[in-house]
Amino acid sequence: MQVLETKNTTWQIGGKMLSSRLLIGSALYPSPATMEDAIKISGAQIVTVSLRRQSAGQGARNPFWDIIKSLSIEVLPNTAGSHSAKEAITTARMAREVFGTNWIKLEVIGDQYNLQPDPFETVKAAEVLINEGFEVFPYTTDDLVVAKRLADVGCKILMPWGSMIGSGKGLMNPDNLTAIRKQFPELKLIIDAGIGKPSHATQAMELGYDGVLLNSAIALAQDPVRMADAFKRAVEAGRLGYEAGVMQKREFASPSTPTVGTPFWHQFA
Helices (H), the chain: 32-42, 63-70, 85-99, 119-131, 144-152, 174-183, 198-206, 216-219, 224-244
Please identify which of the residues 86, 105, 156, 249 carries the catalytic annotation: 105
- CA-wise closest residue to 229 among 24, 8, 11: 24
Distance CA 26, CA 197 (A): 18
Residue 105 annotated as catalytic: yes
Identity of residue 31: S
Beta-bridge partners for 183: none
What residues contact residue 204 under an 8 Å CB cut-off, 6+ apart?
162, 171, 177, 191, 195, 212, 238
What Å distances lie between residue 53 and 39, 77, 194, 226, CA to CA? 17, 10, 22, 25
Distance CA 123, CA 236 (A): 32
Burial of 181 per CB tally in 10 Å (0-12, 13-18, 19+): middle
Task: Calculate the CA dihedral of residues 23, 27, 32, 34 and round it to 10 degrees.
Answer: -60
Distance CA 185, CA 44 (A): 24
- CA-wise closest residue to 102 among 50, 71, 137: 137
- Known catalytic residues are 105
